[in-house]
Amino acid sequence: MFLHELNTNDKRLAEKRAYIVSLGSVEQHGPYGPTGTDYLVQVEMINRVEKQLPDVIFLPVTPFGPCWQQLGFNGSVSLRESTLNAMITDIVDSIKDNANMILFVSWHGGNKPVIDQFLSEKASDYADIHMDQITFGDDGTDEVAEKLLDGPTDDHAGNTEVALMLAVDPRITKQPQPNDEKNPISDFEWDRKVIEVRPEGVIDAHPKWVATPEIGEKLLTIYSDNLVRKIKGELKN
C-alpha cells in the first residue's frame, strides 16, 4: 500500500508496519534518456513491487538526490549530501512511532552512500526499528542483464537505463540505433564531473547500442522481482 493513498484515519497507519523509503534523482541521462530516468524507473519498479507486498507501506519516491557529478548539463538538479541526510532523518522521525522496519531503496547510486552514512551514524537512535538499505540489483541480476545485453551493464545513461526507459515511457525516450556513435568507457571515476570527461553524458563500457523496449521490460521484471525477494527476506528475519 502507498502511504500517500491512505486516509489519515486508516487503522493500518496506527499499526506497526514495515515502511519502504524510496529515493530518486533528476539528472542528465545522455542524448536518449530523460532527466527523470532514475526517478521514473524507480517509480515503475516500486509500483510493481508494491502489488506483491500488500502489507508493506511504501512512501512515494522522492525525486531529488545528490548528483553533483552531473552538474554542468542542463536539467540536472542536485541536493547536497547533508540535505539528503537531513531529509532522511526527518522522514524517519515522522514515521518512527508506527514502524517496526524501515528499508531504504534507491536506483540512483548517488543516494546510497548517504543512506549508508545515516544508518551507520543514526540507526542506533531508533533501536526498536530494524533499518537496512536494499538494492534492486546485485551480482545475480548483473549476470542476467549482461546476457540480455550481450555485454556489460552501464554505469549511467547507457544501454541498461535507456532500455528501461524505453519500456517505462517511449514517448520521452529516444531509441538509439545500432550504428549510432558510441564511445565505450569502463574506468570512469565518480569523483569528478561527468561533463569534463564525457560531454555526451554516457558512462557505458558496452561497445554498441543494443537497447530495446523488449530488453527494458525484461530488466524491469528482473530488478523488481529481485527487490521483492529481498524485502520478503527482511520481513522473515
- Please, which residues bridge with residue 58 across strands? 2, 20
Residue 237 lies in a domain: no
Q: What's 38's DSSP letter?
A: H
Contact 100, 57 (CB under 8 A): no
Residue 12 lies in a domain: yes
Q: What's 60's DSSP letter?
A: P
Which tens digit of pLDDT belongs to each residue from 59-76?
A: 999 999 999 999 999 999
Predicted model pTM: 0.95
Residue 104 lies in a domain: yes
Give the chain's domain count. 1
Residue 134 lies in a domain: yes
**In the structure grid, which three cell numbers stand for residue 234, read together?**
527482511
Contact 193, 69 (CB under 8 A): yes
Residue 233 lies in a domain: no
- How sure is the predictor about 231, in pLDDT bands with cuts at 50, 70 and 90? very high
* Helix (H), strand (E) at residue 169: none
For residue 152, pLDDT beyond 90: yes
Residue 52 lies in a domain: yes
Assign residue 76 the CATH number of its domain. 3.40.50.10310
Work out the number of other CB atoms within 10 angstroms of the CB of residue 25: 28
Residue 235 lies in a domain: no
Residue 187 lies in a domain: yes
Question: In angstroms, rounded to a whole number, what is the distance separating the alpha carbons of residues 215 and 149?
Answer: 8
Which tens digit of pLDDT belongs to each residue from 164-223?
A: 999 999 999 999 998 899 999 988 999 999 999 999 999 999 999 999 999 999 999 999
| Domain coverage including residue 216 | 3-228
